[in-house]
Chains A and B, each alone.
Chain A
Amino acid sequence: MDQLTGILTAISHPSRRAIIGQLAGGPARFTDIAKPFNTALNSVTKHLKLLERAGLIERKKQGREVFISFRGKPLRQVAGWVHEYERFWNERLDQFEHYFKDKKKKEKR
Protein backbone atom coordinates (compact mmCIF):
# COMPACT_ATOMS: atom_id res chain seq x y z
CA MET A 1 0.00 0.00 0.00
CA ASP A 2 1.50 3.40 -0.97
CA GLN A 3 1.49 6.28 1.47
CA LEU A 4 -1.39 8.17 -0.15
CA THR A 5 -3.57 5.04 -0.14
CA GLY A 6 -2.68 4.53 3.52
CA ILE A 7 -3.72 8.09 4.36
CA LEU A 8 -6.95 7.86 2.38
CA THR A 9 -7.77 4.52 4.04
CA ALA A 10 -7.06 6.04 7.44
CA ILE A 11 -9.43 8.98 6.92
CA SER A 12 -12.12 6.95 5.16
CA HIS A 13 -13.75 5.73 8.39
CA PRO A 14 -16.03 8.10 10.37
CA SER A 15 -14.65 6.91 13.73
CA ARG A 16 -11.11 7.65 12.63
CA ARG A 17 -12.14 11.08 11.35
CA ALA A 18 -13.79 11.69 14.72
CA ILE A 19 -10.52 10.73 16.44
CA ILE A 20 -8.59 13.14 14.19
CA GLY A 21 -11.16 15.84 14.94
CA GLN A 22 -10.69 15.24 18.65
CA LEU A 23 -6.89 15.25 18.43
CA ALA A 24 -6.89 18.39 16.25
CA GLY A 25 -7.89 20.16 19.48
CA GLY A 26 -4.76 18.88 21.27
CA PRO A 27 -3.04 15.71 22.44
CA ALA A 28 -5.05 13.21 24.48
CA ARG A 29 -4.57 9.96 26.37
CA PHE A 30 -5.91 6.69 25.00
CA THR A 31 -8.68 6.56 27.62
CA ASP A 32 -9.83 10.09 26.66
CA ILE A 33 -9.91 9.16 22.98
CA ALA A 34 -11.85 5.95 23.66
CA LYS A 35 -14.42 7.61 25.95
CA PRO A 36 -16.86 8.92 23.29
CA PHE A 37 -17.00 5.57 21.48
CA ASN A 38 -19.52 2.88 22.29
CA THR A 39 -17.22 0.22 20.92
CA ALA A 40 -14.72 -2.18 22.44
CA LEU A 41 -11.34 -0.70 23.36
CA ASN A 42 -9.83 -3.21 20.99
CA SER A 43 -11.61 -1.52 18.08
CA VAL A 44 -10.30 1.93 19.11
CA THR A 45 -6.81 0.43 19.29
CA LYS A 46 -7.18 -0.83 15.71
CA HIS A 47 -8.29 2.62 14.52
CA LEU A 48 -5.31 4.23 16.23
CA LYS A 49 -2.91 1.72 14.67
CA LEU A 50 -4.20 2.58 11.19
CA LEU A 51 -3.87 6.31 11.88
CA GLU A 52 -0.36 5.78 13.24
CA ARG A 53 0.66 3.72 10.21
CA ALA A 54 -0.53 6.58 7.97
CA GLY A 55 1.58 9.01 9.99
CA LEU A 56 -1.45 10.97 11.13
CA ILE A 57 -0.86 10.49 14.84
CA GLU A 58 2.14 9.98 17.07
CA ARG A 59 2.57 8.75 20.63
CA LYS A 60 4.77 10.52 23.15
CA LYS A 61 5.51 9.39 26.67
CA GLN A 62 5.23 12.07 29.33
CA GLY A 63 6.14 10.64 32.71
CA ARG A 64 3.99 7.58 33.23
CA GLU A 65 1.42 8.54 30.64
CA VAL A 66 1.36 8.24 26.88
CA PHE A 67 -0.16 11.14 24.96
CA ILE A 68 -1.38 10.77 21.41
CA SER A 69 -1.20 13.79 19.11
CA PHE A 70 -2.33 14.64 15.59
CA ARG A 71 0.16 15.19 12.76
CA GLY A 72 -1.28 17.16 9.85
CA LYS A 73 1.65 16.94 7.43
CA PRO A 74 0.58 13.74 5.61
CA LEU A 75 -2.71 15.42 4.69
CA ARG A 76 -0.75 17.62 2.27
CA GLN A 77 -0.77 14.66 -0.08
CA VAL A 78 -4.54 14.41 0.14
CA ALA A 79 -4.86 18.14 -0.45
CA GLY A 80 -3.03 17.70 -3.75
CA TRP A 81 -6.06 15.74 -4.86
CA VAL A 82 -8.50 18.53 -4.17
CA HIS A 83 -9.53 19.89 -7.56
CA GLU A 84 -9.63 23.67 -7.82
CA TYR A 85 -13.32 23.56 -8.68
CA GLU A 86 -14.07 21.48 -5.59
CA ARG A 87 -12.45 24.24 -3.58
CA PHE A 88 -14.09 27.02 -5.59
CA TRP A 89 -17.67 25.71 -5.34
CA ASN A 90 -17.32 24.71 -1.70
CA GLU A 91 -16.15 28.20 -0.79
CA ARG A 92 -18.86 29.85 -2.86
CA LEU A 93 -21.67 27.61 -1.61
CA ASP A 94 -20.55 28.05 2.00
CA GLN A 95 -20.74 31.84 1.58
CA PHE A 96 -24.14 31.54 -0.10
CA GLU A 97 -25.48 29.32 2.68
CA HIS A 98 -24.11 31.65 5.39
CA TYR A 99 -25.73 34.64 3.71
CA PHE A 100 -29.16 33.03 4.04
CA LYS A 101 -28.52 31.77 7.58
CA ASP A 102 -27.45 35.26 8.70
CA LYS A 103 -30.45 36.78 6.92
CA LYS A 104 -32.80 34.40 8.71
CA LYS A 105 -31.21 35.17 12.10
CA LYS A 106 -31.62 38.92 11.51
CA GLU A 107 -35.28 38.44 10.50
CA LYS A 108 -35.99 36.56 13.74
CA ARG A 109 -34.64 39.42 15.90
Chain B
Amino acid sequence: MKNSKKTLEFKFERTIPAPPGEVFDAWLNPKIPGNPWNMAEKLLLNPKVDGFFYWLIKGNSHYGRFTEMERPSRIQHTWMSRSTLGEESTVTVTFKKQGEDTLMTLVHSGLPDTDGGRGHEKGWNYFLDMFPQQFGDASRRESKGEL
Protein backbone atom coordinates (compact mmCIF):
# COMPACT_ATOMS: atom_id res chain seq x y z
CA MET B 1 0.00 0.00 0.00
CA LYS B 2 1.40 3.36 -0.94
CA ASN B 3 2.17 5.65 1.99
CA SER B 4 0.49 8.95 1.18
CA LYS B 5 1.68 10.78 4.31
CA LYS B 6 3.72 13.89 3.77
CA THR B 7 7.36 13.28 4.62
CA LEU B 8 10.49 15.35 4.86
CA GLU B 9 14.02 14.79 3.69
CA PHE B 10 17.10 16.54 5.02
CA LYS B 11 20.50 16.54 3.40
CA PHE B 12 23.76 17.57 5.06
CA GLU B 13 27.30 17.75 3.72
CA ARG B 14 30.63 18.08 5.47
CA THR B 15 34.20 17.94 4.23
CA ILE B 16 36.21 15.76 6.61
CA PRO B 17 40.01 16.03 6.54
CA ALA B 18 40.75 12.29 6.34
CA PRO B 19 40.47 9.51 3.72
CA PRO B 20 37.07 7.80 3.20
CA GLY B 21 38.08 4.52 4.88
CA GLU B 22 39.08 6.29 8.09
CA VAL B 23 35.93 8.43 8.08
CA PHE B 24 33.73 5.38 7.39
CA ASP B 25 35.26 3.47 10.32
CA ALA B 26 34.97 6.49 12.63
CA TRP B 27 31.28 6.85 11.78
CA LEU B 28 30.66 3.36 13.15
CA ASN B 29 32.91 3.69 16.21
CA PRO B 30 30.85 4.72 19.28
CA LYS B 31 33.96 6.24 20.87
CA ILE B 32 34.28 8.92 18.19
CA PRO B 33 32.43 12.18 19.00
CA GLY B 34 29.71 13.21 16.60
CA ASN B 35 28.55 9.92 15.17
CA PRO B 36 25.03 8.82 16.13
CA TRP B 37 26.24 6.10 18.52
CA ASN B 38 28.44 8.35 20.65
CA MET B 39 27.25 9.50 24.10
CA ALA B 40 24.67 6.73 24.39
CA GLU B 41 23.08 5.85 27.72
CA LYS B 42 22.67 2.37 26.29
CA LEU B 43 23.84 1.07 22.94
CA LEU B 44 23.47 -2.19 21.06
CA LEU B 45 25.17 -1.93 17.68
CA ASN B 46 25.66 -4.60 15.04
CA PRO B 47 26.89 -2.68 11.97
CA LYS B 48 26.41 -5.20 9.16
CA VAL B 49 23.61 -5.71 6.62
CA ASP B 50 20.49 -6.82 8.53
CA GLY B 51 22.23 -6.01 11.83
CA PHE B 52 20.19 -4.00 14.33
CA PHE B 53 20.96 -1.07 16.61
CA TYR B 54 19.32 0.21 19.77
CA TRP B 55 20.41 3.59 21.01
CA LEU B 56 19.13 5.31 24.14
CA ILE B 57 19.88 8.98 24.71
CA LYS B 58 18.21 11.38 27.14
CA GLY B 59 15.55 8.74 27.76
CA ASN B 60 14.66 8.50 24.05
CA SER B 61 14.96 5.12 22.36
CA HIS B 62 16.05 4.79 18.75
CA TYR B 63 15.95 1.59 16.72
CA GLY B 64 17.10 0.64 13.27
CA ARG B 65 18.37 -2.00 10.87
CA PHE B 66 21.39 -1.66 8.60
CA THR B 67 20.35 -2.14 4.98
CA GLU B 68 23.57 -1.27 3.14
CA MET B 69 27.18 -1.46 4.25
CA GLU B 70 29.78 -0.80 1.55
CA ARG B 71 33.14 0.15 3.04
CA PRO B 72 34.39 2.84 2.46
CA SER B 73 31.67 4.50 0.42
CA ARG B 74 28.16 3.96 1.80
CA ILE B 75 26.11 3.12 4.89
CA GLN B 76 22.33 2.95 4.98
CA HIS B 77 20.05 2.08 7.86
CA THR B 78 16.50 2.57 8.97
CA TRP B 79 15.78 4.88 11.87
CA MET B 80 12.81 4.77 14.21
CA SER B 81 12.24 6.99 17.21
CA ARG B 82 9.45 8.76 19.05
CA SER B 83 9.69 11.49 16.40
CA THR B 84 9.14 9.12 13.48
CA LEU B 85 5.76 8.07 14.97
CA GLY B 86 6.40 4.39 14.46
CA GLU B 87 7.35 4.87 10.80
CA GLU B 88 10.70 3.72 9.44
CA SER B 89 12.75 6.64 8.20
CA THR B 90 16.00 6.08 6.29
CA VAL B 91 19.50 7.43 6.92
CA THR B 92 21.98 7.18 4.05
CA VAL B 93 25.58 8.26 4.54
CA THR B 94 28.03 8.39 1.64
CA PHE B 95 31.77 9.02 1.72
CA LYS B 96 33.42 10.34 -1.43
CA LYS B 97 37.13 10.94 -1.87
CA GLN B 98 37.86 14.60 -2.50
CA GLY B 99 41.61 15.07 -2.84
CA GLU B 100 43.03 14.21 0.59
CA ASP B 101 39.63 14.76 2.21
CA THR B 102 36.25 13.05 2.23
CA LEU B 103 33.01 14.63 1.16
CA MET B 104 30.51 13.16 3.58
CA THR B 105 26.82 13.39 2.69
CA LEU B 106 24.06 12.39 5.06
CA VAL B 107 20.45 12.15 3.87
CA HIS B 108 17.68 11.50 6.37
CA SER B 109 14.50 10.75 4.43
CA GLY B 110 10.97 9.59 5.16
CA LEU B 111 10.53 11.74 8.27
CA PRO B 112 6.91 12.50 9.11
CA ASP B 113 6.14 16.20 8.67
CA THR B 114 4.49 16.95 11.99
CA ASP B 115 4.55 19.85 14.42
CA GLY B 116 5.95 17.46 17.03
CA GLY B 117 9.04 16.98 14.92
CA ARG B 118 9.76 20.65 14.67
CA GLY B 119 12.10 22.50 16.90
CA HIS B 120 10.25 25.36 18.65
CA GLU B 121 12.06 26.57 21.76
CA LYS B 122 14.96 24.14 21.42
CA GLY B 123 15.23 25.21 17.81
CA TRP B 124 15.61 28.78 18.89
CA ASN B 125 18.59 27.94 21.09
CA TYR B 126 20.02 25.91 18.25
CA PHE B 127 19.56 28.76 15.85
CA LEU B 128 21.33 31.19 18.13
CA ASP B 129 24.19 28.77 18.69
CA MET B 130 24.56 28.23 14.98
CA PHE B 131 24.08 31.86 14.08
CA PRO B 132 27.67 32.90 13.29
CA GLN B 133 28.45 29.68 11.43
CA GLN B 134 25.16 29.68 9.57
CA PHE B 135 25.94 33.01 8.04
CA GLY B 136 29.67 32.83 7.83
CA ASP B 137 30.90 29.35 7.07
CA ALA B 138 30.69 28.41 3.41
CA SER B 139 31.80 24.82 4.10
CA ARG B 140 28.40 24.01 5.57
CA ARG B 141 25.86 23.07 2.98
CA GLU B 142 22.47 21.64 3.60
CA SER B 143 19.14 21.47 1.93
CA LYS B 144 15.64 20.59 2.91
CA GLY B 145 13.00 19.25 0.58
CA GLU B 146 9.45 18.14 1.01
CA LEU B 147 8.58 14.86 -0.64
Chain B residues 36 to 83 lying within 8 A of chain A, measured CB to CB, are: 36, 38, 83
Q: Does residue A21 face the partner (Cβ distance < 8 Å to B)?
A: yes
Q: Are B124 and A79 in contact, CB atoms less than 8 angstroms apart?
A: yes
Chain A residues within 8 Å of chain B by Cβ, number:
33
Chain A residues 67 to 100 lying within 8 A of chain B, measured CB to CB, are: 72, 75-76, 78-87, 89-100
B107 to chain A, nearest CB (A): 10
Q: Is the interface of B mostly helix, strand, loop or mixed?
A: mixed
Q: Does residue B86 face the partner (Cβ distance < 8 Å to A)?
A: no
A81 touching B119 in the complex, CB below 8 Å, given contacts A90-B12, A96-B27, A96-B35: yes
Q: Are B132 and A82 in contact, CB atoms less than 8 angstroms apart?
A: no
Q: Does residue A24 face the partner (Cβ distance < 8 Å to B)?
A: yes
Neighbouring B residues of A84 by C-beta, 8 Å: 83, 117-119, 122-123
Neighbouring A residues of B131 by C-beta, 8 Å: 24
Chain B residues 118 to 147 lying within 8 A of chain A, measured CB to CB, are: 118-120, 122-124, 126-128, 130-133, 135-136, 142, 144
Q: Are A89 and B10 in contact, CB atoms less than 8 angstroms apart?
A: yes
Q: Does residue A17 face the partner (Cβ distance < 8 Å to B)?
A: yes
Question: Which residue of A has the minimal Cβ distance to B124?
Answer: A79
Q: Does residue A4 face the partner (Cβ distance < 8 Å to B)?
A: no
Q: Are A79 and B119 in contact, CB atoms less than 8 angstroms apart?
A: yes
Chain A residues 37 to 77 lying within 8 A of chain B, measured CB to CB, are: 72, 75-76
A57 to chain B, nearest CB (A): 14
Q: Which of B10, B23, B132 contacts A85 (CB 8 A)?
A: B10
A-B contact pairs, 16 of them (CB 8 A): A24-B131, A79-B126, A80-B123, A83-B8, A84-B117, A84-B119, A84-B122, A84-B123, A87-B123, A89-B10, A89-B106, A92-B36, A93-B14, A93-B106, A100-B26, A104-B18
| B interface, CB within 8 angstroms of A | 8, 10, 12, 14-18, 23, 26-27, 32-36, 38, 83, 104, 106, 108, 111, 117-120, 122-124, 126-128, 130-133, 135-136, 142, 144
| A interface, CB within 8 angstroms of B | 17-18, 20-21, 24, 72, 75-76, 78-87, 89-101, 103-104
List of 5 A-B pairs having minimum Cβ-Cβ separation, nearest first: A96-B34, A95-B34, A82-B123, A79-B124, A82-B119
